[in-house]
Amino acid sequence: MANAQLTSTITRFLRYMATERNASDLTIKAYREDLFGFTAWIQEGGGPTSTEALTPTHLRQFQAALQQADYARSTISRKLASLRSFFKFAMRDGVASTNPAKPLRNPRQSRKLPHVLSNDEVGRLLVAPPAHDVAGLRDRAILETMYSSGLRVSELVGLRDGDLDFGQGITRVRGKGRKERISPLGSYAIEAIRAYAARRCRSTEAEKLGQAAPVFVNRFGNILTTRSVGRMLDKYIAETGLDSRTSPHTLRHSFATHLLDRGADIRSVQELLGHKSLTTTQIYTHVSATNLRTIYEKAHPRAL
């Protein structure tokens, strides 16, 4: 079992992130897994398990072990970021004099372009759910909303009735770090949500919530999980024969790329996506450039 001092410090850190930094449940879950995974690795190797005794060498060895275990570079970077935040807290808490994770450098990230659906492929996907039953109406409303607003799947399942403003064509979205933003709702999405809501059945508990009740529910009338949305999408991907790489996030990628393809300003797209950094949004300009090159090569008589 990990050293009691280290374990108690991690517990205080997680409580601090939840109550004072207002971190999301998913962020807290990631911190917990990263930090207790690190303590388990330290204990297994017989290393020190107090915050004061841990050094940059110990953390470099941990990073090397992650690389040897073939963890993705993004995962390693996240774990190192968790350790940096934790030791920064430990210094403030008076149980560490230095931050041994600070000198570590993240592995260089490979620039991987996101998978994006074409306009025709998006169209095929959006009409795949049947419109004659409640489940099909719900699925169509989910897909339309995700593509219309560029939502993360966690943001979609977190939508509440009170977040929707059909008159203005907007919805309030709770993004990463519980930050809120306003996203557009297109006419097709509004129509699909209304058609679903007219036949939707919710549990008694959900109905008691009023405007705080979830927009999208499962067959038992309770809030959907992100995993349920993923399974739903997989079904329609198989039915339509679309690329198996397609995931709920693909609709968000497609939303951003299609906006840029049609001349949208990149900073507007950044705001619509809820990206903190413009650098995160800029990857979609590379996707758009790739698409434009493909169109050019197909259309211009002297392109090749």
pLDDT tens string 92-132: 999 999 999 988 888 876 666 778 899 999 999 999 999 88
Task: Give the distance from CA 276 to its chain's centroid.
Answer: 13
Check residue 115 and report its DSSP letter.
Answer: P
Q: Do 163 and 285 lie in a common domain?
A: yes
Instruction: Please name which of 33, 30, 8, 9 lies closest in space to residue 88, comparing C-alpha atoms.
Output: 9
Q: Do 87 and 153 lie in a common domain?
A: no
- 260 beta partners: none
Residue with tokens 């058609």: 195
- Kindly report the CATH number assigned to the domain that includes residue 11: 1.10.150
Q: Do 48 and 172 lie in a common domain?
A: no
* Domain interval for residue 64: 4-92
Residue 101 in any domain: the answer is: no
Q: Roughly how many angstroms between the first and final C-alpha of the chain, as a whole number?
A: 65
Q: Provide the pLDDT for residue 38.
A: 93
Q: Do 199 and 275 lie in a common domain?
A: yes
- Kindly report the CATH number assigned to the domain that includes residue 171: 1.10.443.10
Q: Do 275 and 134 lie in a common domain?
A: yes
> What residues contact residue 25 under an 8 Å CB cut-off, 6+ apart?
none
Task: Please list the ranges in the chain whose pLDDT falls under 50.
Answer: 1-2
Whether 236 and 261 have beta carbons less than 8 Å apart is answered as: no
Residue 167 in any domain: the answer is: yes
Q: Provide the pLDDT for residue 88.
A: 94
Q: What is the dihedral of CA 203, 205, 206, 207, to 10 degrees?
A: 90
Instruction: Please name which of 75, 82, 79, 84 lies closest in space to residue 102, comparing C-alpha atoms.
Output: 84
Q: Angle formed by the axes of helices 266-273 and 278-299, to 10°?
A: 120
Q: Do 74 and 192 lie in a common domain?
A: no
Q: Do 73 and 153 lie in a common domain?
A: no
Q: Do 10 and 55 lie in a common domain?
A: yes
Instruction: Please name which of 23, 12, 38 lies closest in space to residue 177, comparing C-alpha atoms.
Output: 23
Whether 35 and 82 have beta carbons less than 8 Å apart is answered as: yes
Q: What positions carry a catalytic annotation?
A: 152, 176, 249, 252, 275, 284
Residue 237 in any domain: the answer is: yes
Token pair in block for residue 288: 């758009």
Residue 147 in any domain: the answer is: yes
Q: Provide the pLDDT for residue 304.
A: 57
Q: Do 142 and 280 lie in a common domain?
A: yes
Q: Provide the pLDDT for residue 109.
A: 65
Dihedral (CA of 223, 227, 233, 235) sign = negative
Q: Report how far residue 132's alpha carbon sits from residue 190's, in angstroms, rounded to the nearest whole number.
A: 18
Q: Do 45 and 132 lie in a common domain?
A: no
Final residue in a domain of this structure, among 92, 108, 142? 92
Q: Provide the pLDDT for residue 287.
A: 63
Domain count, the chain: 2
Residue 304 in any domain: the answer is: no
Residue 97 in any domain: the answer is: no
Residue 236 in any domain: the answer is: yes
CA distances to 51, 135, 246, 254, 278 from 112, rounded to whole Å, are 36, 35, 15, 15, 17
Task: Give the distance from CA 85 to its chain's centroid.
Answer: 20
Residue 294 in any domain: the answer is: yes
Q: Do 83 and 135 lie in a common domain?
A: no
CA distances to 7, 13, 26, 273 from 178, rounded to whole Å, are 26, 18, 10, 14
Strands 180-184 and 164-165: unpaired
Q: Do 31 and 176 lie in a common domain?
A: no
